[in-house]
Structure 1
């Protein structure tokens, strides 16, 4: 599929943004600090960014306190002093060649994967540029042709062929039938939130499979991605189960499922059911299988959330119910820990109220390949055409999205991994109205705080759920503030063409005027000099994708204090 000149220019510019912003964040914090120190920011200023013995020359066209800068006029100045154009893939190669971590082989491998990601994003952009704007929940899940702006492997899926991308990628509007494993109950390990919720989810899954009770014949139904099913046939443990008659593989058959933005989680919209499937494809940093430990953590998190139902409701958000999951045991063992992570799955209920169509955050901050502007523009109407309404929108987003997460952490010690792909927001005429959070695998709980609120259940929960308080705080700052909230404010700043620092000041004002149990956490958030950010490029090079390195970045809320915030307060007074 060909891509027109306009979308090509947008794709190229955004790939440069991703590479340069990531490089600055991970390799040149001193230059980032210099950018922040300039009076009036850095917009319109040409910068020289070292890459080994060479340098990238680029003009910062939009400065972002959260690090989401925009760049133009990118050139490379070689060690001989001469300047010339460079393609994004070639720039990525130079960056990796100059890396002082990893080995030559790992740097070469990462360079190949970065180029694969760049090429995939170009092909996805060509397809998405012909589609309708992502103004609905379903379209937003499929809109991520570009993806994570600080992950150079954002659109890399090792193991997928071109045909696989067409058949299974959300970016290509894929819809497909699942395969179905029928397993004797004694080789299945189950993780259940409550028997009632699991029974409801199992019934929905069986309806989606369109298999009857006669076909299932008392066996346990296990959904399987068709790409994964082809690989399971080659697994020795799977072949043992097939040979013994303990397992059968059917399909593809049943109702069509649509993949969500995570690729491996699928959605049966008619049933209100998400199925988190295992995929041994290497999506970004690592293979996306579901181990017994991950299933146990998720369901322990679901049980904790169920116990804290009152506090969740009082906090003002909705957490989608993880009903349960299952995984196959390896053959010839009764040990529940000897399982096959390539078969583990989770069932998640999402029976949204009629008329409610929440949109994944990663989808509405994603740039549209036709215009280069965030998809939020198709949702917000003309809100961001007016400066005052823009500031009010940011305050509303703070109240509807950020404050509920802070309140839940303060009252229960539960930190949700509410990053941009796990958070969905419902809108009312362009204004945020409700936060929904999905996927409890990354939930982290402060044992002492949770025990004070729910002493009876805390001892029954999996120990993997509990973290040290400082680790929880770091996770909250990264997933909620750096990954999610900063991305939204950068998108709004672009759409409204305003200084992003003003938006951080508006959010700061909304937090400072809040009164309640979250005040201590809010004060700590607003006074923290720095925030943790994942170093995705570094982590890929040194082979720590599943246990990534972090770097510290300046806290944009600190930059958003007086006198800018005083100006915001005066604006409010003038308009009331």
Structure 2
């Protein structure tokens, strides 16, 4: 009999108190949730440069530095299903089979493994809770936020896909987008000097701006009095919310570690928000209507990353509702019944690569993962153009801009770089290894889509790098096991375009 992890047991106990009607469904979802997290973990063990793995064998075996071996099935670097149900750890002659990522990570006994094992336990338990609470979920989304709330499993490749340490079961049900709540934001008075851009009249109290604060942040971090309440629908990122009736989107500070990062809002992001937004509007205008940017309307801070907010246009503005168009986050495509035939996937891939590579050549690398990148679909489901939101982590190359005679924006800091590797990692890792890979759902489907999509694209140095070099992606598990190395760490995946000839592109 499987021994539940402490996180699984804690969620079961809390669920019995706050939602006993979900208890049996939660228990039934646990094996699938373990397989989903184990699949992501096994992918990381096979493809990331973990220092305690000294050799990888073609048959699926991994030799550890202490002489033990890990054995498992083929790890498709772009698969997003729950295909790995067990891996084996031991010697050539004897070993133990593991169906639980928590037990596996614990018994690997590697540096920083126990803390990561605890995070995996939270991920499994939260994922099982999310899957258990899908009865009654709307099957025909209309508003953009309804599409976003259909993303149940979280990050398609991170073992911490649903890790929410610090959130009780009641808080997950009250704030998690996949649970479809309405969240009541606190409104905290700030100082007018902290406003950048235009802060709307309805978020002022006399001469002082009102800063929307996530209720988890208000309770656990700020412990500040609030004035008034603002109802909103949580989006894929949990800390971003949609004001009802087509209102703007609010990005709030949330000083909790979700997947890999603490979701606060840095003063740097607030200070550059208006400049970056205006610059990216001008860049999108160069793409013949293929890309729209959700403008940053305003930003406000109380000189703290824990108390800040950003107000953006809703992506739905860029769909013609009268013509039957709608906007869908790319991260939601994998869980829909939209037509995603090989021809559809190739058409969408061509659109995404056209936009991403043209912008990269001009001097902007988008972080176009499935949460930031959205697609406008026609009434018949065809991809017609893209929408991009959340500009905080793009990269801008002054040298590339100057080469095209484009005025360089007045920006400094981390957003600015001319490093070719950094620029290509940003786009290729998020768009190809991330958004397109997850949408395709596997290496074979991604290869077929890319082979069709790259034909006819301009032969820029960036396209040739995409065709010929291994595909960069963030080493998400290595990052969690390397607390002494802050920032992004990277690995390389087998290039699905490895057999495409340059002349055939």
TM-score by length of 1: 0.74
Q: CA deviation at 1:15?
A: 2.4
Give 1:11's aligned residue: 33
Give 1:191's aligned residue: 196
Give 2:149's aligned residue: 142
Give 1:224's aligned residue: 213
Give 1:555's aligned residue: 495
- The answer to which of 136-145 and 287-296 deviates more is 136-145
Deviations 1:208-247 (A, max 9, x none): x6xxx7xx2222221111222224554xxx7xxxxxxxxx
Among 468, 474, 477, the residue aligned to 1:534:
474
Contact 1:168–1:259 (8 Å) recurs in 2: yes
Q: Within 1, Cα distance between the matches of 2:390 and 2:352?
A: 16
Alignment map for 1:461-476 (pairs within 5 Å): 461-470=411-420, 471-476=422-427
Give 2:372's aligned residue: 422
Q: Within 2, Cα distance between the matches of 1:511 and 1:488?
A: 17
Give 2:132's aligned residue: 126
Among 494, 497, 504, the residue aligned to 2:447:
504
Q: Within 2, Cα distance between the matches of 1:149 and 1:13?
A: 13
SS in 2 for 1:16: helix
Pair 393,116 (structure 1): closer, same or farther in 2 beyond 3 Å: same
SS in 1 for 2:255: strand
Aligned length in residues: 470
Give 1:460's aligned residue: 410
Contact 2:396–2:415 (8 Å) recurs in 1: yes
Give 2:9's aligned residue: none
Q: Within 1, Cα distance between the matches of 2:150 and 2:313?
A: 23
Q: Structure 2: which 5+ runs fail to align? A: 1-21
- The answer to which of 547-556 and 439-448 deviates more is 547-556
Contact 1:300–1:462 (8 Å) recurs in 2: no
Verify: 1:117 aligned to 2:123, yes or no.
yes
Give 2:8's aligned residue: none
Verify: 1:345 aligned to 2:309, yes or no.
yes
- The answer to which of 285-294 and 83-92 deviates more is 83-92
Q: Which has the larger radius of gyration?
A: 1
Contact 1:272–1:352 (8 Å) recurs in 2: no
Alignment map for 1:351-390 (pairs within 5 Å): 351-355=317-321, 356-365=325-334, 375-376=335-336, 378-380=337-339, 384=341, 390=342
Q: Within 1, Cα distance between the matches of 2:444 and 2:148?
A: 29
Q: Within 2, Cα distance between the matches of 1:447 and 1:274?
A: 30
Contact 2:213–2:307 (8 Å) recurs in 1: yes
Q: Structure 1: which 5+ runs fail to align? A: 36-46, 193-197, 239-247, 329-338, 366-374, 385-389, 494-499, 570-576
Pair 145,93 (structure 1): closer, same or farther in 2 beyond 3 Å: farther
RMSD over aligned Cα atoms: 3.0
Pair 416,281 (structure 1): closer, same or farther in 2 beyond 3 Å: same
Deviations 1:403-432 (A, max 9, x none): 11111222x311111111111122232332
Deviations 1:483-512 (A, max 9, x none): 1222222x2x5xxxxxx4364244233313
Q: Within 1, Cα distance between the matches of 2:483 and 2:212?
A: 31
Structure 1's consecutive aligned runs of 4 or more residues displaced over 6 angstroms after TM superposition are none
Contact 1:278–1:288 (8 Å) recurs in 2: yes
Q: Within 2, Cα distance between the matches of 1:219 and 1:292?
A: 19
Q: CA deviation at 1:117?
A: 1.2
Deviations 1:442-477 (A, max 9, x none): 111110222345655x25334443112311122122
Alignment map for 1:72-83 (pairs within 5 Å): 72=84, 74-79=86-91, 81-83=94-96
Contact 1:401–1:435 (8 Å) recurs in 2: yes
Pair 326,184 (structure 1): closer, same or farther in 2 beyond 3 Å: closer
